[in-house]
Chain A
């Protein structure tokens, strides 16, 4: 049972425009959410996180939004750059219970120059 879902397997965006990657979750116990970026033949690299006590966290060109009532989070990248082309994974964890991260299946972002 997939508790974290990324329903868009791929996304293409023009350089300079905004990229919006979406993620939905089903477990209401999740209270910490992360985005990882993965290049081919490399491990996932931590990008940005958000705790459930916030609804927005910003770091440079990257902003994560959390809508707890909808069990939805999104990653905004603006402006998008060709170097952002990678697979982006959404992940979630709960402070109580399991220590592991639950991952979505990833969205492949292609930024077109």
Chain B
């Protein structure tokens, strides 16, 4: 498809389990971003990729969170030992260059994570 896709669309897990969330950006977009939206909150930045490298990981809330991107395309966000406060909608976005901001980011539909 032409847009950003994410999988799974919904994920329910038990506290303490690991989860992997996947993002397929728009073809040709070199920049990829992960955000999360907790209930009643705005979108919170997690991590930014330029190609396969992540020059900005400043938003990752703890060392339980990690992300990688391979082939300049697909990215996975991994949350280890999930906690109930990790419950949120995790959104992926991509943009054409990502250099220095000033670009429109296009979002996927999100993955709704519920940690019981």
Residues of chain A at the chain B interface (Cβ within 8 Å): 2, 4, 6, 31-32, 34, 36, 41-46, 49, 51, 89, 91, 93-106
Contacts and interface: CB of A to CB of B under 8 A. Distances in A.
Interface string B86-107: 0000010100001111111111
Nearest to B40: A105
B105 A98 contact: no
Contacts of A43: 4, 6, 91, 93, 107-110
Q: Taking each of A4, A43, A44, A97, which has the highest tally of chain B beta carbons within 10 Å of its own beta carbon?
A: A43
Task: Classify the interface of chain A: helix, strand, loop or mixed.
Answer: loop
A59 B33 CA distance: 26
Contacts of A51: 102
Interface string B25-53: 00000010101000011111100101000
Nearest to A92: B101
Interface residues of B, number: 33
Given A44-B91, A93-B101, A95-B100, A100 B59 contact: yes
Nearest to A29: B101
Interface of B: 4, 6, 31, 33, 35, 40-45, 48, 50, 55-56, 58-59, 91, 93, 98-110, 112
A45 to B, nearest CB: 7
A41 B56 contact: no
Contacts of A93: 101-103
